[in-house]
Amino acid sequence: MTHVLLVDDDQELTGMLAEYLRGDGFEVSCCHTGDAGLEQARQGGFDLIVLDVMLPGRDGFEVLRALRRQSDTPVLMLTARGEDVDTVVGLELGADDYLSKPCNPRVLVARLRALLRRGRAGDNPAVLSVGDLNLDPGRRAVQVSGRPVELTGTEFDVLASLVRQAGYLVDKDSLSREALGRKLSPFDRSIDVHISNLRRKLGPLPDGGQRIKTVRGSGYQYVAAD
């Protein structure tokens, strides 16, 4: 059974979401402070974490920052509606996806199941190599010039989509469907932020050139080796 950790100080909302998730076959644990959530998350055993930004004491950003130092468990952040800054910061710190509050429980379940499908996908076990980059879908591991690169689950899926079509443009909507499991919505910057994180973590090509090119207004392209 998939085990979800809900971290939110709104006990009424948490209770409602927990009840809905349990009815959909999830096992659910709940915490209402950042410190308690981080302590539980560090103990492991969770397949997914739903983390609110606004928490008493240690906020969601601090929890996520600390968690990402030792865990790649998929994290979906709950942000206040219209708070684009919170969304971007959360994604930059390593969140896999986000949802605005108040959230529809059915949408939350759909997002969580999409995260699970991506994490368990293994339909193409062959290692993909482009220049100095090796991507292993089976182990969900990436190396650049022999150096392991730590990526979140969503970052890995975005990169895999680009590498499979290296040298060709991949539009943002296709990336969102393949890597996020959902259609790209207006003003959604999730893909842009994940691309920014990938550029930072992967670094430039050996010749100093850009590894992932932006095609303005269209999408992104992973530069193929000559």
Residue 119 vs residue 1, higher pLDDT: 1
Residues 6+ apart with CB under 8 A from 207: none
Per residue in 88-134, pLDDT (tens digit) is 999 999 999 999 888 889 999 999 998 887 766 555 468 899 999 99
Percent of the chain with pLDDT over 90: 71
pLDDT at 114: 87
Q: 12-31: per-residue pLDDT in tens?
A: 999 999 999 999 999 999 99
60-81: average pLDDT: 91
Among 77, 81, 80, CA closest to 67: 77
How many angstroms separate the CA atoms of 175 and 193, rounded? Answer: 13
Q: Which of 145, 61, 69 is nearest to 95 (CA)?
A: 61
- What lies within 8 Å, CB to CB, of 217 at 6+ separation is none
Give residue-wise pLDDT tens across range 27-60. Answer: 999 999 999 999 999 998 999 999 999 999 899 9
pLDDT of amino acid 181: 85
Q: How far apart are CA 76 and CA 36, in angstroms?
A: 17
**Beta 170-171 vs 219-222: how paired, if at all?**
antiparallel
Largest CA distance in the chain: 57
Backbone dihedral angles phi then psi of residue 78, each to the nearest 5 degrees: -100, 125
The CA R_g of the chain, rounded to the nearest whole Å, is 18
Using the predicted structure, report yes or no on whether residue 8 has a pLDDT greater than 80: yes
Q: Among 89, 43, 85, 84, which Cα is nearest to 67's?
A: 43
DSSP track, 115-129: HHHHHH--S--SPEE
Confidence check: pLDDT of 194 > 80:
yes
pLDDT at 142: 95
pTM over 0.85: no
What is the 8-class DSSP label of residue 188? Answer: -
Structural domains of the chain in order of their starting residue, each with its CATH number = 3-120 (3.40.50.2300), 128-222 (1.10.10.10)
Structure tokens at 142: 């990436």
Strands (E), 70-125: 75-80, 97-101
